[in-house]
Amino acid sequence: MELGPIFRALVKNRTRFVLIVLEVGLALAVVVNCVHQLSEIRATVTKPSGLADEENLLRVLVQPFDPELRDRDRAESLRQADVRRLQNLPGVVAVTRTSAVPLSGSGNSSGIRLPEKRDADPIPGPNFEVSEDWLRTFGVELVRGRDFLPEDYASESVAEAILTEALARRLFPEGDPLGRQFVVFGSEPVTVVGLVAHMTNAWPDSEVADLAFFYPGRPVYERYSFYLVRVTPGLAGEVRQAIDKALLAEHSGRTVEVQSMTEVRAETFRQSQFVARLLSAVIVLLVFVTALGIAGVTSFSVTQRTRQIGTRRALGATRGEILRYFLVENALVTALGLVVGIALAFGLNDGLARFASATRLPLGLVFGGTVFFAVLGQATTLVPALRATKVPPVVATRAV
Amino acid sequence: MVGYNLKLGWQSLRRTPVLSSLAIAAIALGIGVATTCVTIHYLLAGDPLPGKSDRLFYVRLDSWDPERPFDSDFPERPPNQLTYRDALAAVVESDIPARKAAMFRARLYLHPEGAQPFSADTRVTTRDFFALFAVPFRFGDAWSAEAEARGEAQVVLSAEINRKLFGEANSVGRTIKIDQQIFTVAGVLAPWRPALKFYDIHNGSERSPEEIYIPFALARPLGIVNAGNTSSWGQGWQTVDGKYDSEAVWLQGWVELESDSQKQAYQSFLDQYTDGQRAAGRFQRKNNNQLQPMRAWHQQEEAVPPSAKSLMVIALAFLGICAVNLIGLLLGKFLARAPEVGVRRALGASRAAVFVQHLVECELTAVGGGLAGILLSWGVLGVINRALEGDVHYRLDLPMIGTGFGLTLVAGLVAGLYPAWRICSVPPATHLKLQ
């Protein structure tokens, strides 16, 4: 092996190689951190919400402006009429009223405590007041216990709740959560009657996105109401138009806005998607610039050493040996750059953690990045190195 | 001398068009990405009201649950918004601050004549809002103090909503039905789009300012409630009257205090107010009334999205990589010219002259790339604005163009120092011998 000569040549031409070391190091550090952020964003954006088939779940927002609808009884009978009308539309599978919409970015949350620990800090309790048929409409999976009973929905007080498994684990780390009680809304204890597998609450990018509980009732707000409508796949378009007409025919003193859950999701994540696109662009540009930089420096060093290569060829070195010389040289330099880069990557991650609340870099990602740049280094060296193998031995004999 | 060096630099750039274009492209990319991300960060995190923000204070009163603090992670912090009665009694009815605004965001219905009603983003506020936050007017002005006192139904329209309702016309004095009430237009704003909704960071800080502005005095008579965050530790806030009378916090209070003595006077007024409330059975926690300077408030509430910060750091690192690339390109280019420099040195050019000549050439390359980069960033910001559909409006302003240019000069200098030093230390004799 010609490691000795390669090493001595590197030391002699150290400037160029310091540049490659710097470039590879910086690129690895930045790319690894960008990919890390990107994957965190992707994880949030693509995390399943637990709602079945979001495309065919419509959110209907109704906002009354007619003063007649300020009357509580009038407004309530209208909401019940709305639900009946929606249920009768062709293509509608199920309809429910809800106090908040999952993934939408706005909803209700109340602190939860255990009856025996009323002085402890509350556990966050994002919640949904829902009416009949909510399970089928949301399309969440009831894994334990039972649904609410029909008479529960008309009751004024809150006596029963269904929890997501994540909230049940947080609230009752030990033992069976079914039948246990908790305190919320400062009222009488509420009993857990069922568990749903998973559902994202109204704040999908928060740390407590998996925590939610449902309680039966007739959600009432004076200025707006939400209906969720599950439709037969393929009919979402027609149903949307029909909803608007049906509700305004019931009472025209209000506005109606329909969005599919897919659209709700897209709106909530628009900023994240934008950051993700910017990061992807930076990653692509960076890899491109680094590859160009390595190719440029190697190409320059091949040009400078044309005579030397010719001499080696004249003295019997094969083309393969010339190729290997440049590849090994690049491997040595890149390896040094990668060591620097790994240190820089953790340093940058540390800075971002302190300055912009980033999370720890996973080791697998750093390893993957290292392998990627090692391959990139060899691949970009290949073109100028192949050019070097074509230097004819006769060059050695020519004068400059 | 500078002129001569510039001329030499220009000739050298033209002699190696491919290498020069590569060098310029490297810097253009770096500056383009860096200026874009620095601008986004600056618009979000910069001072929204330079020279004024240190006189603006966000009012926080600890009206919370006697049993436990508002935020259990930070028990020393009072609630982040105010109850209606405190906003009224402690902010609106105090004469101490030079200016004061009690306000909240709502959604109300506009009923244009002969068209479908639509809901409009509304700020319900006292009239000082416009002066406090230096809001620019195109026509008219805020409703008068007298109109506010009499509870007149007057409205200020944003530029966009004025265009939608009245074309570009001066609509001052015209009327518009909002909910069930006829309002008279008092003023129309000029286009106004801060990147961060700095006066209400808890209710959609990335959103545009509201479309219409109506007097706070009308809120309760018309039964208007907020469309935004409401926090409560008690019961009964779900109805309209309940919201006004309960301990729920849902309003923002801002004051402008012109001097320390004014600030102290207002602080003791607040403490006296809460003492009085305590005697009457409210405010059972110990006094914790805070006047938080605007920027400190933003910082505490982390109003700037962390992604904006990390994008900026990453973009600056990217510029660093482009600069290292530039070092490589310049080094190759300069060393290829060593024989020529050898001749110049032999003919009497000093090392300093050669050094300066090459540094000028580096800066010329960088400036070319920098201008292209700033142009690139202008285009990228345009694309971003379109992608975000008017949600945000990022644009390059003079300070940011200046920053981009400054980054260019620094990058050019950093990248040029070593190659220029290498070429000026070429010993004249070596290359003369070879020729």
Choose among B72, B234, B311: nearest Cβ to A275. B311
CA distance B122 to chain A (A): 14
- A399 vs B: CB within 8 A: no
pLDDT score of B389: 66
Q: Do B321 and A289 touch (CB under 8 A)?
A: yes
**Strand B290-293, strand B154-157: pairing:** unpaired
Dihedral sign, CA of A306, A308, A313, A317? negative
Contact list, B68 vs chain A (CB under 8 Å): 121-122
Mutate to test the interface with B, among A110, A223, A287, A346 (most CBs of B within 10 A): A223
Between CA B203 and CA B219 the distance in angstroms is 18
**Is the predicted pLDDT of residue B315 greater than 70, yes or no?**
yes
CA distance A30 to chain B (A): 6
Q: Do B311 and A400 touch (CB under 8 A)?
A: no
In angstroms, the Cα distances linking B150 to B103, B174, B217, B222 are: 18, 19, 9, 15
Choose among B33, B227, B324: nearest Cβ to A282. B33
Dihedral sign, CA of B374, B376, B378, B380? negative
Q: Tokens standing for A53?
A: 């088939």
In angstroms, the Cα distances linking B187 to A374, B142, B376 are: 64, 6, 38
Q: Do A121 and B68 touch (CB under 8 A)?
A: yes
- B383 vs A: CB within 8 A: no
Residues within 8 A of A (CB atoms), B 17-56 only: 22, 26, 29, 33, 37
CA distance A341 to chain B (A): 12
Contact list, B29 vs chain A (CB under 8 Å): 285, 289
- A395 vs B: CB within 8 A: no
CA distance A19 to chain B (A): 7
Contact list, B315 vs chain A (CB under 8 Å): 282
β strands within B201-328, DSSP E:
212-215, 252-256, 290-293
- A70 vs B: CB within 8 A: yes
Contact list, A26 vs chain B (CB under 8 Å): 317, 320-321, 324
Give Dmax (Cα) for chain B. 100
**Strand A142-145, strand B290-293: pairing:** unpaired
Contact list, B121 vs chain A (CB under 8 Å): none
**Is the predicted pLDDT of residue B230 greater than 60, yes or no?**
yes
Contact list, B244 vs chain A (CB under 8 Å): none
Choose among A186, A286, A352: nearest Cβ to B313. A352
Percent of chain B with pLDDT over 90: 50
Residues within 8 A of A (CB atoms), B 146-205 only: 179-180
Choose among B305, B321, B391: nearest Cβ to A23. B321
Nearest residue in A to B65, CA atom? A186
**Residue A258, H or E segment:** strand A254-260
Residues within 8 A of A (CB atoms), B 253-292 only: none
* Band of pLDDT at residue B434, cut at 50, 70 and 90: low
Q: Do A30 and B331 touch (CB under 8 A)?
A: no
Between CA B117 and CA B111 the distance in angstroms is 4
- A33 vs B: CB within 8 A: yes
Q: Do A221 and B238 touch (CB under 8 A)?
A: yes
Contact list, B238 vs chain A (CB under 8 Å): 220-221
Enter the pTM of the model. 0.79
Q: Do B239 and A222 touch (CB under 8 A)?
A: yes
Residues within 8 A of A (CB atoms), B 296-315 only: 305-307, 309-311, 313-315
pLDDT tens digits along A220-230: 877 789 999 99
Choose among A255, A271, A358: nearest Cβ to B310. A358
Q: Do A282 and B180 touch (CB under 8 A)?
A: no
How confident is the prediction for chain A on average, in pLDDT?
89
- Number of inter-chain CB pairs under 8 A, A vs B: 130
pLDDT score of A19: 86
Q: Are A374 and A333 in contact (CB under 8 A)?
A: no
**Residue B164, H or E segment:** helix B159-166
Q: Are A164 and A172 in contact (CB under 8 A)?
A: no
pLDDT score of B129: 96
- A10 vs B: CB within 8 A: no
Q: What ipTM, to 2 d.p.?
A: 0.78
**Strand A190-196, strand A160-164: pairing:** parallel
CA distance B108 to chain A (A): 8
Mutate to test the interface with A, among B177, B307, B337, B434 (most CBs of A within 10 A): B307
Choose among A223, A355, A400: nearest Cβ to B313. A355
Question: What is the 8-class DSSP label of residue A50?
Answer: S
Q: Do B225 and A297 touch (CB under 8 A)?
A: no
Nearest Cα to A278, choosing from B314, B422, B375? B314
- Looking at residues B374-403, what average pLDDT do you find? 83
Nearest residue in A to B392, CA atom? A271
Collect the ranges in chain A with pLDDT lower than 70. Answer: 1-2, 186-187, 398-400
Between CA A100 and CA A227 the distance in angstroms is 9
Choose among A274, A292, A300: nearest Cβ to B332. A300
Nearest residue in A to B111, CA atom? A65
Contact list, B305 vs chain A (CB under 8 Å): 271
pLDDT score of B431: 65
Question: What is the 8-class DSSP label of residue B92?
Answer: I
Contact list, B180 vs chain A (CB under 8 Å): 65, 67
Contact list, A22 vs chain B (CB under 8 Å): 324
Residues within 8 A of B (CB atoms), A 336-355 only: 348, 351-352, 355
Nearest Cα to B237, choosing from A108, A213, A159? A108
CA distance A379 to chain B (A): 18
pLDDT score of B390: 60
**Residue B183, H or E segment:** strand B181-189
Q: Strand, helix or coil at B194?
A: coil
In terms of phi and psi (left: phi > 0; alpha: psi -120 to 50; beta: otherwise), the region of B393 is beta
**Is the predicted pLDDT of residue B23 greater than 50, yes or no?**
yes
In chain B, the N- to C-terminal Cα span, in Å, equals: 29
* Band of pLDDT at residue B435, cut at 50, 70 and 90: very low
**Alpha helix (H) residue ranges in chain A:** 3-12, 14-46, 72-87, 134-138, 165-171, 236-250, 261-268, 270-304, 306-314, 319-356, 363-389
Q: Do A37 and B332 touch (CB under 8 A)?
A: no
Q: Do A290 and B321 touch (CB under 8 A)?
A: yes
**Residue B118, H or E segment:** strand B118-125
β strands within B270-386, DSSP E:
290-293
**Residue B177, H or E segment:** strand B175-178
Q: Strand, helix or coil at A145?
A: strand
CA distance A143 to chain B (A): 32
